[in-house]
Each structure stands twice: as structure tokens, then as C-alpha cells.
Amino acid sequence: MKKKSFDRILKGLRGLTSDQAAALLRSVQEMAANNAAKTAIDTQGREACCPHCQSPNRQKWGRTRTGAQRYRCNQCGKTFNGRTGSSIAHLQRFDLFYRVLEDMLTAATPSSVRQLARRFGVTKDTAWRWRKTILQVMSQSVTPLSGIVEVDETFVKESRKGSREWVRHERDPASNPKPPRLRWYEYKLTGTLKKRGLSRWQLPILTAVDRAGNRYAEQLPDRREQTINNSLLPIICPDAALCSDGFSAYAKFAKATGLSHFVLGTKPGTRKIQQSFHIQNVNALHSRLKAFLRPFKGPAKKYLDGYVDWYFARENMEVDCALSRLLDCAKP
């Protein structure tokens, strides 16, 4: 567009009402998301071989319905684009999917599935399917932890969101076994006391950080010594100094690997050793992680790993990087 034409458009915008300005802003956001998504697809297509026969010989062959560049393989004669064969090959509204990806990675507080559905005019099932697709490529880039390493675990209440086991048992108790616990809100309604302290309904998440800012978190099936050893052994350098609380599994791990071990307490005067050895950084990580999970009202246990990886990806992964992973991810 010529500069004079663009200036004329800008001049005409000054008389817009607030509703018209809001509609214009939505249109501009959709245009920007569509252009960014199309650019990412075209970049992937320029670098890729034919997904059908892996031949690098191809020619441009028009554009797709969404505006992305299409290619035709000179060897097998089939057409393809940057999304062909990927896990997002058949998305109908790729521009909206791109905006969901932006919300997950860049928004100060990510939107819930229902909020995304209302904002973009899709069903909550579609928004949730898109979120699950994105969570599949949210993985932590693990850097071995060295120097002073703080390690501790935090606990998240087990959630079975979406489970129908309680409803099925109420409808047909003879065919469906009784669930192992009440639904969480039923404890308050019925006045049933919860078991105090740790139990199998508290899911442990092992976390470790070093002073260089490298971090690691993983949901554990239990707190057994072998489980903790298997998780910590690949990520902690052999010359590191380990800081932990008094949990015996950490002491045995340090002894087995020859690490220097500093045990911190919870009472005043025992929370630091020589001002350098403490677990305050990992405790702060617990606080931020739980604050991130709180608006989602308890992710289901089977998706908790994805949400933990999502938290770390928000600080380390760019939108274009996540989109590139989705385009590289083979169709399930």
C-alpha cells in the first residue's frame, strides 16, 4: 500500500466510536496472527523436503485456502505445504490456534479453556484440544545442575478432573467399583475429615535449582529412595554441593554419589549455613509454580507433567520456537 493511501486510512480512523475501535483492534490482531502463522508455515515449507517421498525437488504450486505457500513434488507429483504431515496439519483455524499459543506463552496470566473459547468463538472442546496439542511439545531443556544445588519437593493435591467414576458408581454400584475417595468438595459438604499431613492424594513434584539459574522439576510417582535417585542422578554434576531438608532420601543419595551435603532446618538459625547454603531459591520456585497452577483449579493428574513443563516453557520458549516444534512433530 502506498504511503498516501495509508495516511488517508489513518485519518479516517479518528472518528471511530469505542465499539468500532474495539472491532478494528480485533481485526488487526487477527490479521497479525494470520500473517505470523502464514510466515511460520512458509518458512517450514521452504526448508522441508517432500513429506511423501523425501525428495528435495519441488516447485511452487499456488497457495492453500489459508494463504500458505503450496509446493508440488517433481518426483511423486504430490502437493504439500509447511504443515503437511505434522500434528497440526488439519487445523481449520490456524490463525486462532496461533493466538491460543501466544496466550499460553506470553500472557501475564494464561486464559482458561472457557475464556479462550469465548474470546475466539470456538467451543471449549476445541480450545481444550488445541491446548493438549500444544502441551505435547512443552518439554524442559535440562541443563546439568552444578555448583550449589538446592533440592526439595512440593506437593499438589491429586485431581481427577473429567473422571466419570463417581457418576458411574452412583448409577450402577454393582458394575462400577466405589471410587477410592470422595470428590474434594464433598468433604466439606458431608463434614468428613481429611487425613492430615502427606498421603497418597498429595502428588510430589521434585524440584532442583542451582545458583546459575538452571532448574528442573518432575512429578514423582512416590518418594522412595530409588525413585529420587533415578530422578536426580542424570541432572546433578558429580562435583556439586547438595542443599536439602532433612529427608533421608537426599542424605542417602549424597552419600552414594559422594556429593557434599548440607541439611537445612525450618527453625530460626537452621535455615542457612554460612550464609551460602540454603534452600530459599527452590522454595520460591514452589511458590511461583503453585501460583501458576492455581487459576486452573487443579489440573488432572495425567496432565500435571504437561502443566509443569508449560510453566518452565513460558520463561524459556518463544512462540515461534513452540510453533516450529509443532510443525516438526509428526502427526499422531
**222: domain CATH number?**
3.30.420.10
Domain-located, residue 143: no
Inter-residue contact 154 to 205 (CB < 8 Å):
yes
pLDDT-above-90 percentage for the chain: 44
Task: Render pLDDT for 22-57 as a digit per residue (tens, 0 to 9).
Answer: 777 877 777 777 777 777 777 766 777 888 888 888
Low-confidence ranges of the chain (pLDDT < 70): 1, 44-45, 329-332
Task: Render pLDDT for 64-107 as a digit per residue (tens, 0 to 9).
Answer: 877 778 889 998 988 888 888 888 888 888 888 888 998 999 88
**257 shares a domain with 295:** yes
Residue 320: strand, helix, or coil? helix
Q: How many domains is the chain partitioned into structurally?
A: 4
Domain-located, residue 7: no
Range of the domain at 107: 95-137
Residue among 229, 210, 207 nearest 146 (CA): 210
CB atoms under 10 Å from CB of 105, counted, come to 21
Q: What's the CA gap between 150 and 243, in Å, rounded? A: 5
Output the 3-class SS for 32-63.
HHHHHHHHHHHHHHHHCCCCCCCCCCEEEEEE
Task: Render pLDDT for 78-89 as a digit per residue (tens, 0 to 9).
Answer: 888 888 888 888
**316 shares a domain with 241:** yes
Q: What's the CA gap between 156 and 201, in Å, rounded? A: 8
Domain-located, residue 142: no
**263 shares a domain with 190:** no
**311 shares a domain with 224:** yes
Put the strands of the sheet holding 58-63 in their side by side order.
58-63, 69-73, 79-80
> Considering the entire predicted model, what is its pTM?
0.81
